[in-house]
Each structure stands twice: as C-alpha cells, then as structure tokens.
Amino acid sequence: MTIYDVIKRPIVTEKGVTKKDTERTLCFEVAPGANKVMVKAAVEQLFKVKVADVRTVSQVGKLRRRGRFAGYRSDWKKAYVRLKAGEKVPEYAEI
C-alpha cells in the first residue's frame, strides 16, 4: 500500500478543526486495512512532521432510506493523529 492508498482524505468537520487547533490532532479517513504503523509512516512522509501517537476508529455504515428503498452506507475507518510538541500543524483546512 502506498501512502496515498493509506490516507484517503482529511476529515474537515467542526470537531476535526477544533481538535487540530487545540490538541494538535489531525483527523483522516484511512483505508480499512491500514494499521496504526502504516498511518503514522504515511503522515510523517506526506506532511514532513513527527507523529506522537495514532488512534483509529472503525465506523459502521448506517442504514439510509429513500422512500421504500433501504440500503447501508459503506463501512470506513478514521484515524486521529497527534503531532509531537514543536511540530508545525499543516494547514489543509481553511475555514
């Protein structure tokens, strides 16, 4: 898996931007098969920063309905990446 396969996209939500500003924690959608070591290596290589720790969450797809038709959203994985002290936080979300 390449670094671009591991990290799919940054999650730019109100909670994610607040964590980025206050706790120096970045939030990404990652590949379901990626582990913490892969996510840490990908973020360090992509953004040229040092990572303190990584936390991952597996999100289960929700049931969604359109009238009488029902289906499930896909399962996906989220990673919270905390940077070491003294590292500059990359600016990928401008609000």
Q: What is the pLDDT of residue 89?
A: 86
Give the Cα separation of 78 and 29 in Å (integer): 5
Give the Cα separation of 53 and 26 in Å (integer): 11
Q: Which domain holds residue 29?
A: 3-83
Residue 44, domain member (yes or no): yes
> What domain count does the chain have?
1
Residue 91, domain member (yes or no): no
Q: What is the dihedral of CA 62, 72, 8, 80, to 10 degrees?
A: 20
Residue 89, domain member (yes or no): no
Q: What is the pLDDT of residue 73?
A: 95
Tens digits of per-residue pLDDT, 33-75? 999 999 999 999 999 999 999 999 999 999 999 999 999 999 9
The CATH code of the domain that includes 58 is: 3.30.70.330
